[in-house]
């Protein structure tokens, strides 16, 4: 009987020790999870799990890179808007489905001197000096591929045109035309809120098919894992740049976008419903399929190729009345090679962005 009593007491002590150990482990786990290190550890575990999910790669997109070759060609950074105007015209010529330009045009561009015309002896100032914003606006206005431009919400700004007021005609126009009025915004209270808005200069916003926010929010360890699809701005919502295009491409009835639990519900005008998983801030976790350098891009071309095509096209046209058959044939041969290259643009969504040395911000997202 004494042995049984001692055994019961030993088992009770063991049970108490086990409870204390479990409690200690739970307490430590809770403490770690609430700490900076614990949250980063949780993010790293999520990263590891991502690699077990199959990556879905599409050839719908083409990336047009403003690379070192492009900057070398123009001999100036950032890329002049006259060059972007030429690039957009080529993309429209070859029937791209849409063009998304991941670069901001929030300040007026300086006047541009057309070197070719200057060296050709043109004397009138209006023939030599180009208003870049008007030139770019003309390219955007041409029939063909819709072009989506970047805007950016900021907490504060000293630029009057970015400040919210009923008398700010430019911002009011952008607000009414491009920002989403959602009738039922329940559950979206924690979405990021922007107080001021930087947007493209006149006349660029007049001819854009859409505007989208390019602000990125990195995780605590400096890695970009998620993208905010909608940001709150004075009663409306600003879509992320690529999301702005997606809403149009899917014919989403934007006013009827709702949040249901952990999903953003996108109802289309054709009766379809798309569900996008989001967190409390309206961010979608992006399943990167590799680092920037290892992305399985099926299509990527340099923007300098678009510029050189334009140059050869003008050169070929200048030879129409020339008796130099060899020069004409050479020009036509080069043009045909570019035209073959640009056949890949047909029906594709083109994203234009910087990849030149020390110009890109894509490096921070890689997992």
**What does pLDDT average to in each consecutive run of 10 residues of the chain (367 residues)?**
54 59 53 54 58 69 94 92 97 97 95 82 82 97 97 89 94 97 96 95 97 82 81 97 97 97 97 96 81 64 96 91 88 94 95 85 43
**What pLDDT, on the 0 to 100 scale, is given for residue 46?**
60
**What pLDDT, on the 0 to 100 scale, is given for residue 365?**
41
* Integer Cα distance of 7 and 20 in angstroms: 20
**What pLDDT, on the 0 to 100 scale, is given for residue 254?**
98
**Inter-CA distances, 208 with 245, 309, 332, Å:** 11, 24, 33
**What pLDDT, on the 0 to 100 scale, is given for residue 272?**
97
**What pLDDT, on the 0 to 100 scale, is given for residue 70?**
95
* Integer Cα distance of 312 and 188 in angstroms: 52
**What pLDDT, on the 0 to 100 scale, is given for residue 367?**
35
pTM metric for this prediction: 0.84
**What pLDDT, on the 0 to 100 scale, is given for residue 207?**
97
Contacts of 199 (CB under 8 A, 6+ apart): 106, 151, 152, 162, 170, 171, 174, 205, 211
Ramachandran quadrant class, 251 (left: phi over 0; alpha: psi -120 to 50; beta: rest): left
């Amino acid at each position: 009987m004494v042995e049984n009593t001692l055994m019961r007491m030993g088992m009770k002590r063991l049970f108490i020790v086990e409870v204390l150990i479990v409690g200690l482990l739970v307490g430590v786990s809770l403490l770690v999870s609430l700490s900076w290190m614990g949250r980063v550890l949780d993010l790293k575990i999520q990263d590891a799990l991502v690699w077990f999910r199959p990556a879905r790669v599409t050839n719908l997109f083409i990336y047009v890179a403003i690379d070192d070759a492009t900057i070398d060609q123009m001999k100036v950074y950032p890329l002049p808007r006259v060059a972007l105007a030429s690039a957009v015209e080529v993309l429209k010529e070859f029937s791209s489905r849409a063009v998304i330009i991941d670069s901001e045009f929030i300040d007026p561009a300086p006047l541009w001197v057309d070197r070719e015309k200057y060296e050709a002896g043109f004397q009138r100032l209006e023939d030599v000096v180009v208003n870049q914003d008007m030139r770019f606006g003309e390219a955007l206005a041409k029939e063909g591929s819709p072009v989506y431009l970047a805007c950016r919400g900021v907490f504060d700004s000293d630029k009057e045109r970015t400040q919210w007021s009923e008398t700010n005609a430019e911002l009011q126009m952008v607000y009414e035309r491009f920002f989403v009025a959602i009738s039922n915004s329940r559950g979206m209270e924690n979405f990021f809120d922007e107080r001021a808005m930087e947007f493209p200069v006149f006349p660029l916003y007049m001819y854009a098919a859409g505007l989208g926010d390019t602000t990125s929010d990195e995780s605590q360890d400096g890695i970009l894992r998620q993208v905010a699809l909608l940001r709150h701005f004075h009663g409306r919502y600003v879509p992320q740049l690529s999301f702005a295009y997606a809403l149009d491409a899917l014919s989403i009835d934007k006013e009827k976008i709702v949040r249901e639990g952990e999903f953003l519900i996108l109802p289309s005008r054709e009766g379809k419903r798309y569900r996008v998983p989001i967190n409390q801030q309206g961010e979608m976790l992006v399943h990167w399929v590799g680092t920037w350098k290892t992305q399985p891009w099926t299509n990527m071309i340099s923007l300098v190729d678009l510029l050189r095509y334009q140059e050869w096209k003008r050169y070929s046209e200048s030879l129409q009345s020339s008796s130099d058959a060899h020069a004409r044939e050479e020009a036509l041969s080069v043009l045909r090679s570019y035209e073959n290259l640009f056949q890949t643009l047909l029906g594709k969504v083109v994203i234009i962005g910087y990849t030149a040395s020390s110009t890109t911000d894509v490096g921070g997202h890689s997992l």
